[in-house]
Structure formats: structure tokens, C-alpha cells
Chains A and B, each alone.
Chain A
């Protein structure tokens, strides 16, 4: 159901700082809203986002209900070697989504 979009440069020079943009579709239900009948809508958010570069963690974000729906996160990393950038989102109700992109460093 959920789908993720990654925008990262496919090629980079060694040592260059690259910017990575990530977007994932998710309602990020805060757990503070009520239905019109007054029942509390249970919380359903993404709690953790991790980016690994060839298996090494380079960035991590711990999210709370104050993050807008469809979490959009932009961060950077140093292009050290060719390989894969892997992204993982985990959250409430067993939510887990992974995505990866290849990068060539020359």
C-alpha cells in the first residue's frame, strides 16, 4: 500500500556530498484526533527512518506525531564508494517499508 519515492543522484564524484530526498505515503495519524462520534482515532505513525550506505548507517530519524502526513525527509551523505543506499521506515501496526537505490562513485 505504502509507496516510497527516493531522489538521489545516480552518479557522484568520490568525496562529494550528495543530497537525498525521501518521501513515503503514510497518513501519520496522530492519535489525538477524534471521529465525529467522539471516538479517539488510534495512533498510526512511522516512528523510525534509517538510511544505510553499503550496510553502514549514515542517517537516522526518530519521528513523532508532529511530523506531517507523507513524511518528507531531506538529508545528505558523503559519496564514498559505489554501492547501494538502503532506506527503511518502521512504524506502528507493524508498518515496515524498504527501498534502495544504486549509486556509482567515480
Chain B
């Protein structure tokens, strides 16, 4: 190697360093918000290696939400709810809140009906996904796209 760094070498190193810094800042910024990828990861964590089929779950959410701080939501699954065939759990996920999990509801055959209503927060216009786990080990899901006018979570306290 020559003692003088050539212009080409210098540019290469400098470019690499700049790219490194850029990448680092992207990584540092990321946890502020869940992404579709982190949502998929959260779903994977609950579901495991099983396949998630579309259907059977009914997710009711208003398509247009004025206030993301309280969004009424109902999830239902048609099921006989007997000891042999019932819904074990219902999980809710979102794409763009700071955290992908919303809630997990667990039922037994004594729940009678696999239906839950609650109120959630949504930080942005996004897709909400409900995944249900049946007693036979299969997973079913439904998703709804919601437009949010006033976002939750991010305002000052």
C-alpha cells in the first residue's frame, strides 16, 4: 500500500462510514412504531409454526374512526363451544401502534359464545388483525382496514 491514500480509497471508506451511520440511525428510530413486519413477528410468536387460515373470525370495527383513543371493536367466532370443539383464544394485533399486540382473550367451553367487545387505541390509519385459536389447534384470522383521523398514543401528557 502507498502511504498516500488514493482518492478512490478515501471515497470508498467515507461512503461506507456514512452508510453505517445512516443504518444505525434507522435502527435507533425504528422501535417508536410497530411495522407490518413486527406485527407478523408478534403473530408468529403466538401461532408458532401453524398455518393461519383466513376466515371464520368476524372482526367488527368502524371503517372510519374520528378518535383513535377509543375505537369500539367486536370479535366473534362461530363455534358450538363444546368441550370437543371450542375457541381457545382470540388475539388482536395492529400494524402501526408502538406495540403490535392489542389483547389476548382466552375462553373455555364454559364461555358459551366466542364473542368479545372492547375499546382499543389506534395510532394511525392501519390494519387490525384478529387471530383465533380453535381447540383442534387450527388458527383462523380476519383483518379490517381502519382510517383514523385523530391518532392515539402520541400526544403529550
Contacts and interface: CB of A to CB of B under 8 A. Distances in A.
Contacts, number: 110
Interface in B59-112: 69-71, 74, 92, 94, 97-99, 101-108, 110-112
Interface residues of B, number: 35
Contact of A33 (B106, B112, B153): B153
A95 interface: no
Q: Is the interface of A mostly helix, strand, loop or mixed?
A: strand
Interface of A: 17-18, 29-30, 32-36, 41, 53, 56-69, 71-78, 80
20 contacts: A29-B157, A30-B121, A41-B157, A59-B111, A60-B105, A61-B104, A62-B103, A65-B98, A67-B102, A67-B120, A68-B71, A68-B118, A72-B117, A72-B119, A74-B74, A74-B115, A76-B112, A76-B115, A77-B111, A80-B110
Interface of B: 69-71, 74, 92, 94, 97-99, 101-108, 110-113, 115-122, 152-157
